[in-house]
Chain A
Amino acid sequence: QKEVEQDPGPLSVPEGAIVSLNCTYSNSAFQYFMWYRQYSRKGPELLMYTYSSGNKEDGRFTAQVDKSSKYISLFIRDSQPSDSATYLCAMSDPLESRQGGKLIFGQGTELSVKP
């Protein structure tokens, strides 16, 4: 079983829809949780960043972390065709990170928003 599981999709929605992207994880030591957006043939770009549990909102994007369920979500409101990309969740253990440890990524969910 992978440490981070993410539904690969693809997910296709009409413009204006609310999109929900999710990841589950198994390592309870994870404290930093991130969502990256990756356009085709590009490198990932950081979209949202949260520490520990709770919600964080940035414009049309909301990130939620539920550590008790080991479940994180990204919601996109009023989705636009320009949101079409692959969305990667990522997380890290701060103790391991201080020792030079790594960001663990999900496999990515491919999203297509149709005009």
Chain B
Amino acid sequence: EAEVAQSPRYKITEKSQAVAFWCDPISGHATLYWYRQILGQGPELLVQFQDESVVDDSQLPKDRFSAERLKGVDSTLKIQPAELGDSAMYLCASSLEQDTGELFFGEGSRLTVL
């Protein structure tokens, strides 16, 4: 069964360090999303790509977060410098259609900032 792959599953870092997360969506899914889920809350969208183009990054803290999807396939989300409040689960999702909301999520990357 096709899955969204994410790595690393767990990351512990100290504040002010740089961290990066990688995502490989389901083959053929043109739309890719990065969500952040703080413990006890629902996921919140950080950035959405359609192929290699950013479609929505309105909630991405651009002073420290960056995301890219250079070839329109896999994607990287970077945080530099990490802050204590960035501790959360970072979820990647992909979808076949952009406007239906049928998202397929990866298992997530759990970040702990000390």
Contact B41 A90 (CB under 8 A): no
Contact A44 B91 (CB under 8 A): yes
**Size bin of chain B's contact surface:** 20 to 34
Asked whether any CB of chain A lies closer than 8 Å to the CB of B101, the reply is yes
Per the bound structure, the CA–CA distance linking A70 and B48 in Å amounts to 27
- Main SS at interface, chain B: loop
Shortest CB distance A96–B (Å):
9
Asked whether any CB of chain A lies closer than 8 Å to the CB of B44, the reply is yes
Partner of A43, one of B41, B42, B56, B106: B106
Closest 5 CB pairs of A and B: A100-B55, A105-B42, A43-B105, A97-B99, A102-B45
17 new A-B contacts, CB < 8 A, other than A98-B99, A100-B50, are A8-B40, A32-B101, A42-B108, A43-B4, A43-B91, A43-B108, A44-B43, A46-B104, A90-B42, A97-B98, A102-B33, A103-B45, A103-B101, A103-B103, A107-B40, A107-B42, A108-B41
Residues of B at under 8 Å CB distance from A? 4, 33, 40-45, 48, 50, 55-56, 59, 91, 93, 98-108, 110
